[in-house]
Chain A
Amino acid sequence: MKTLTLYNNGRSVAFGDIPQTTDYHEFTQYVHEAMANDAYHCVSYFGYPNADALQLIMCLANDTNGTIEVFSFVLKEKNCPSLKIRAIDRFEREIAENFGIAFEGHQWPKPVRTAPDDYPFYRADDEELHEVGVGPIHAGVIEPGHFRFTCEGEKILNLEIMLGYQHRGVEKLMLEKPLLSQKAMLAESVAGDSAVSHGIAFATSYEALCDYQINERAAVERMIACELERMAIHTGDLSAICGDVAYQLGNAVYGRLRTPIINFMQKWCGNRLGKTMVRPFEAPYDLTPELIADLHATLNAYEKDFTQMSNKIKRCPSVLSRLERTGTVTREQAVEIGAVGMASRASGMLRDIRSTHPYLKYEGQVKLVVKKHGDVYSRTQVRIEEVYESLALIRKLVDNLPAAQASHTAEPQLQANRFALSLVEGWRGEICHCAITDNSGKLALYKIKDPSFHNWDALELAVRNNEISDFPICNKSFNLSYCGHDL
């Protein structure tokens, strides 16, 4: 099968250049051969109604050489055989739900975003076992989703997660809302805790469709914002992890350490979560010398306290005993489900878009933090060490900030019949935005994939054979997005 080779470089291609085949065997054979190789993973797979058929577009990223292979199968019927690849299962479920396609032989054809009342959860009929249903509304101040546990006493044998409660119709509104500012805000609200990362993914794909390249300074400012977001959320999640093992000191200290970072975001762009920070074609808020001085002072004070606290938890037996060997996802499992981002690196995978498919000015800038045990403690360690990596990177970028450059004068326009794909490593992992323009140069498709789309499977596997009382810390160690998944 012919493929179109792309790079994550903010350039679009002619949509017509994406190879098409009507031979499903040819399509599946290529997918199977590629996916048998650990280097490949599926970054997106979606349907695009084209003429009287459905074009199924597959985007496979190669982590070794930084390419993204794009190719498609033209489906004219309402059914086709499933690829039967675990890491692609959820994409097929999504296509089935959106277009009424039956994937024959699919291992688990359950809804992705509809959460029907009569859905038959996986269950074991055994008098020794019991079920625990949690949600959609949970005990904390968090988003909704339903968790169905099958337990033997206190031990979780199986967890099935039902999502979809947060479905707001983001992708549809992306096409319907006429203003660019509206689209940018929709992208930021895909997951409000990743507003900067999704903002960058949107801006990059939109700019690619307009054949526009932002200036170097704006690119570096986007990186700084993205790394600040990573630091802030990792710190907040470390607080929550401590909270879930009833370690008050860690909960309080990490909780308050998040504040100066997000307050800096507010000083910079006016919003603590970085909303409005990123807009296509421009850097609305310049990083002024005063802000840079403030940032250095903020980071120095932060680092001192962060180090003191992190050294403490690494030596605190009552914390370690709850984190170590809890919620383990093995490397084999992580590979099988196609895990991405921070969670995959905690299970020994070298998967980080900043390094494998560098964008903006990330090339050669990021040292991967990889752990091999795949437990809650590995994910905690990855977060702590990534905070240091981000700290170092931000300082380096700020000290070498390119000089201010004049930006565009007139707003560039979308070009007709183009395809753009942008990958961004948010704090959770890889975000993928794909966009297609039609004959008239209007957006015809906008496809969003949050890293949670892959990693919810990891949580299901992580909790098996753990005590149900450890579920909260397993959950928090991933802190997956409900709205990012449900869109």
Chain B
Amino acid sequence: MKHISNLSILKAQGKQYIPDPTTAQVPGIFRGRPVISTTPADNEKIAAICPMQAIGTQGGLSIDLGKCAFCGLCARQFPDKITFTKDYKMATTVRENLIVREGIDKPIEYGPKPECAKLFKGSLKLRQVSAGGDNSCEWELGATGNVNFDMGRYGIEFVASPRHADGIVITGPITVNMARATQICYDAVPQPRLLVLCGVDAISGGLYADSDAIDRSFLKTHKVDLYLPGNPAHPLTILNGLRELTV
């Protein structure tokens, strides 16, 4: 009887995995990569309403996805100027590539892969460090391993020890109280190693950037290998960004 009930659950569940997470469509009104039209608008006014100060006005309107929390306020108030597409492939190895400029509607360029990425082909083990993360990016990083996204199929997994890892994924703006632990964890990863920032708080500090409880000096002395934007980053953003390192 026991096995029959197991089987009936398995039968009811069927296949839950997303067949191809590199081409999957996200449901609903997901706010991915924004597009800024060339329609004339009051750029200063648009920039002023952004809670994250992610909108720049130098040389036409631009949005920095490293600062953007994808709240969609600008698109709601200025729908003719800014729209958010459902393009979740926003990961990049180059910080500047996260800046979306007026009139340009093309995918975020992934950028050159780090030299050591060839060592991680088909197998990438990462250690996650939450350093002031609000547990939203942490949930989504966890979700990449569930049966829907199944990032394990690409050989990408989160491991318990930095000694077993090829790099670390930081979430959160890096608090003063986590600065040392973050450094110790990074140092414990064998070289060569990757440094990945996940979510707006990690990439730019987000709303916490100028808090005196934050210490981002770690990022001044280490090269970041991959940026995964979002608030939190969507599992498909994470999965596609990391997968690129392993192929």
Chain A residues at the B interface, C-beta cutoff of 8 Å = 113-115, 136-137, 139-144, 164-169, 172-173, 177, 179, 181-182, 185-186, 189-193, 195, 236, 239, 249, 252-253, 255-256, 258-259, 263-264, 266-273, 275-276, 284, 304-305, 308-309, 312, 315, 481-483, 486
Closest to B84 in A: A270
User: Which residue of B76, B136, B175 contacts A193 across the interface (Cβ within 8 Å)?
Assistant: B136
Closest to A285 in B: B29
Tally inter-chain residue pairs, CB-CB below 8 A: 182
Cα–Cα distance between A257 and B148 once the two chains are bound (Å): 10
A/B interface sample: 26 pairs, CB < 8 A: A113-B177, A115-B177, A137-B185, A140-B128, A165-B177, A167-B132, A167-B175, A173-B208, A181-B71, A185-B52, A189-B136, A190-B134, A192-B134, A253-B9, A255-B146, A256-B13, A258-B146, A266-B26, A266-B27, A266-B29, A267-B28, A270-B72, A275-B69, A308-B9, A312-B6, A482-B135
Min CB gap A247→B, angstroms? 11
A168 and B173 form a contact (CB under 8 A): yes
B160 at the A interface (CB under 8 A) = yes
Which residues of chain B are near A168, meaning CB under 8 Å? 132, 172-173, 175, 208, 211, 213-214
Cα–Cα distance between A259 and B30 once the two chains are bound (Å): 14
Given A166-B130, A268-B28, A304-B12, 17 other A-B contacts at CB below 8 A?
A: A142-B130, A165-B177, A167-B132, A168-B172, A168-B213, A182-B51, A185-B71, A186-B207, A192-B138, A193-B135, A195-B136, A252-B146, A253-B13, A259-B146, A270-B72, A273-B136, A276-B72
Closest to A192 in B: B136
B116 at the A interface (CB under 8 A) = no
Which residues of chain B are near A263, meaning CB under 8 Å? 27-28
A481 and B27 form a contact (CB under 8 A): no
Q: Interface 1/0s, chain B 1-42, versus A by CB < 8 A? A: 000011011101100100000000011111100000000000
Min CB gap A301→B, angstroms? 10
B158 at the A interface (CB under 8 A) = yes
User: Which residue of B9, B27, B70, B211 contacts A169 across the interface (Cβ within 8 Å)?
Assistant: B211
Cα–Cα distance between A304 and B9 once the two chains are bound (Å): 11
User: Which residue of A173, A181, A309 contacts B211 across the interface (Cβ within 8 Å)?
Assistant: A173
Closest to B160 in A: A139
User: Which residue of A139, A182, A273 contacts B139 across the interface (Cβ within 8 Å)?
Assistant: A273
B232 at the A interface (CB under 8 A) = yes
Which residues of chain B are near A182, meaning CB under 8 Å? 51, 207
Min CB gap B100→A, angstroms? 17
Cα–Cα distance between A320 and B72 once the two chains are bound (Å): 45
B9 and A309 form a contact (CB under 8 A): yes
Cα–Cα distance between A167 and B129 once the two chains are bound (Å): 15
